[in-house]
Amino acid sequence: MAFDSEPGKSVRMKKESDSRTIFVGDVHGCREELEIMIERLNVTSSDRIIMLGDLINRGPDPVGVVRFVYERGFESLMGNHEDEYLRHFQGMEPYKSLRRELGSELHEWLTRRPLFIDSDDFIAVHAGLEPHKHPSESARRILLTIRTWDGQGVNLKEAENPPWYDFYQDSKPVFYGHWARKGLNIRSNTYGLDSGCVYGRALSAYILETHTLVQVPALRTHYIPPSLRTRQTSSHPG
């Protein structure tokens, strides 16, 4: 590997011989870092760009990220944050405001994001795969939120349970995001690309054909989780 600084349906596409397939991890509203990444990758019209979901929330410019991806014709998966937005935009802030800012065209585009892409060469999904099942057989909640596996799909993030990828034995590579706490997590046949850009770490992309990882350092820490904010406040009283 080289280093450089209707949802639920399978999608199959042929690509030109000189094109690249590039997967990009969770952006979470970090438009500037995404623009730097696309410039660094020297993306051309023959390249296939697949965003692994969670374009929105937490970062400074979610609308700008969605517009950037949409206007360039990139593919993008449904992430759990897009799913949450679609469930709450009619009645809950900040989703009501985000709906107004997106406008009808970008909103409708978000509603049509697939849960996964199953190609001859790879599977792309936001969170991961349910063990021993094709993604078309799995519940939406599992594809959007799985981290660990309890044998039943009840608790999908219990740290004491094994990660879902420990069960994956197929040779077809799986590209996913969602697990920022785990960070960049490249194994023999699974590629976790959520490297926590919004938390001040890095945005990651992976080029399938050349097995090249490209990273752009975060320009700043855009979001601090509430649990860490509480910890910082308690350690710095007054």
Domains (ranges, CATH) in the chain? 18-235 (3.60.21.10)
Which residues in the chain come in under a pLDDT of 50?
3-16, 233-238
**Backbone phi, psi, residue 49, to 5°:** -100, 125
100-108: list long-range contacts, CB under 8 Å, 24+ apart.
101/63, 102/63, 102/66, 105/70, 106/63, 106/66, 106/67, 106/70
pLDDT of residue 5: 40
pLDDT at residue 230, as a whole number: 64
Which amino acid belongs to residue 35? E
Rounded to an integer, what distance in angstroms lies between the CA atom of residue 126 and that of residue 6?
Answer: 16
Please report the pLDDT score of residue 48 as a whole number.
98
Cα separation, 174 vs 70, whole angstroms: 24
Q: DSSP E strands: which ranges in 155-232? A: 174-176, 185-186, 190-192, 202-207, 212-217
| pLDDT (tens digit per residue) in 63-117 | 999 999 999 999 999 999 999 999 999 988 999 999 999 999 999 999 999 999 9
Sign of CA dihedral 149, 150, 156, 157: negative
